[in-house]
Amino acid sequence: MTTRRDFLRQTTGALLLTGLETGRCAGVAAPEPDKLSTIRRLKNPVAIAMWDFSWLLRQHPGGGFEDYDRALDGLAERGYNAVRIDVFPHLVGLAGREGVPERFTFAGRGGGRHALWGNDVDVTVDPRAALLEFIPKCRKRGIHVEASTWFMGPKGTSDRIRSFEDFVAVWSETLDFMERNDLLRDVLFVDLLNEYPQWNGFAWLREAAQEAAEAQEPDGPKKKGDEHIQDNKRRPVTDAQRAFYRQFSTRLIRHFRGQRPRYDFAISLSPNWDGFQNERSVDVNAMDVLDLHIWFGHRAPISQYDMAKAQEMNPEELRQRYGLLKKAWTDHRTVLIQWMDERLALHARWGRAANAVVGNTEGWGSVGWADMAPLDWEFIKETAGVCVDLALKHGQRFVCTSNFTHPHFKRLWADVAWHKAITAKIRNA
């Protein structure tokens, strides 16, 4: 197994071959193979829903995914023609190995609260069987699939992945499984890890980056990153950590682009990481696709009124917070929209420079929400309308309407007319 020190040494040596890692050498146009990914063959943008790991874990009663036919019929009726799902490479790739079952049990949220994403109650699932059932049903309805992962799982799964080689191995096994079973035919692209490097369950990655930083700066970090806006905590990011993350991600993309050149690969990003400067921790030029998640909730003053913990508030607290959020939006709407416009323009420039397809599968108003009174969905819908227009203005090819496009967000799901109108705008752009 490669040690962290070996990883850094091997990767640094490889990256000295500037440009070779991505096949985009300066002044040299490498021949592009015919792509099997559908993202580059689209005539129009796709309206994409984020069904994350919920599609597999919410098959329990009341979960919204007990009947795949019904859920997918509802998605198609609302005008969505693409869906982003977790294909669980750490489960598919490990299943059947010594000490690893083929079925996995996930604990429910508990405490009388509903999970925003994922399961409310304990569930036992077979991810391979579910993929074999779900993806052909998407194909039947003309719904493209983005294969992604949040890399979270019960004990003995994602925590077994303790090196670059381990991570590559489970993804390779998963892609082999999907290819053998004709499940890659309608895949838009492959997102190798959600919101790199922070917002996923690949704990080894962050531990390794921290150890690399400590080895290079034993007396402590000399430079700290900016405030991490999403949770208002300071998360120092050192130059040594950035170097580790950048080397890991570039090597990862290079590996899969070389192994499977007919498919498009990405590592999705949340721009609030490292002071809104993702390019310090990842080489955006290495990717085929840029999936950049962004919300008004990343930006003050909206960031002061996050709704992720709405279920923990009493009705009066929630009413007051929602009132303050709506006032902040009304008072600062023009400045906030200008900020979003500038961010999406930057993302478009990155895409043009890298010859990468640009879009967004999560975003717009608030990262967290709850389908409960006194909250309604008007803020989410209004911000979606604003940002979909901006996304299309800047040439995005896959566009979400929010990160709440699941059947279990019942009141928003029930507004079929709203979904139809906004997805039609995307698909007809």
For residue 244, what is the domain's CATH number?
3.20.20.80
The answer as to whether 19 is a domain residue is: no
- Taking residues 378-387, what's their average pLDDT? 99
Task: Choose the weakest-confidence range: 18-22, 45-49, 246-250, 271-275.
Answer: 18-22
- Taking residues 141-169, what's their average pLDDT? 94
The answer as to whether 104 is a domain residue is: yes
State which residues form the domain around 212.
42-427
- Taking residues 258-282, what's their average pLDDT? 89
φ/ψ (deg, to 5) at 398: -135, 125
Q: So what's the pLDDT on residue 271?
A: 75
**In terms of pLDDT, which residue wins out, 336 or 112?**
336
Q: So what's the pLDDT on residue 306?
A: 87
Contact indicator for 198, 270 with CB cutoff of 8 Å: yes
Task: Encode pLDDT of 224-242 as tens digits.
Answer: 433 333 334 445 688 999 9
C-alpha torsion angle, residues 147, 116, 363, 298 (rounded to 10): -130
Task: Choose the weakest-confidence range: 8-17, 41-50, 100-109.
Answer: 8-17
Residue 176's pLDDT band (cuts 50, 70, 90):
very high
Q: Which of 129, 43, 34 is nearest to 81 (CA)?
A: 43
C-alpha torsion angle, residues 67, 72, 77, 79 (rounded to 10): 150
- Taking residues 135-143, what's their average pLDDT? 98
Single pTM value for the model:
0.89
The answer as to whether 12 is a domain residue is: no
CA dist., res. 117 & res. 192, Å (int): 19
Q: So what's the pLDDT on residue 276?
A: 75
Domain count, the chain: 1
The mean predicted confidence, pLDDT, of the chain is 89
Q: So what's the pLDDT on residue 218?
A: 63
- Taking residues 318-329, what's their average pLDDT? 97
Q: So what's the pLDDT on residue 157?
A: 85
Q: So what's the pLDDT on residue 30?
A: 46
CA–centroid distance for 8 within its chain: 26
CA dist., res. 45 & res. 189, Å (int): 14
The answer as to whether 48 is a domain residue is: yes
The answer as to whether 7 is a domain residue is: no
Structure tokens at 346: 């930057």
| Neighbouring C-beta atoms of residue 364, cutoff 10 Å | 30
The answer as to whether 27 is a domain residue is: no
CA dist., res. 58 & res. 5, Å (int): 41
Q: So what's the pLDDT on residue 274?
A: 78
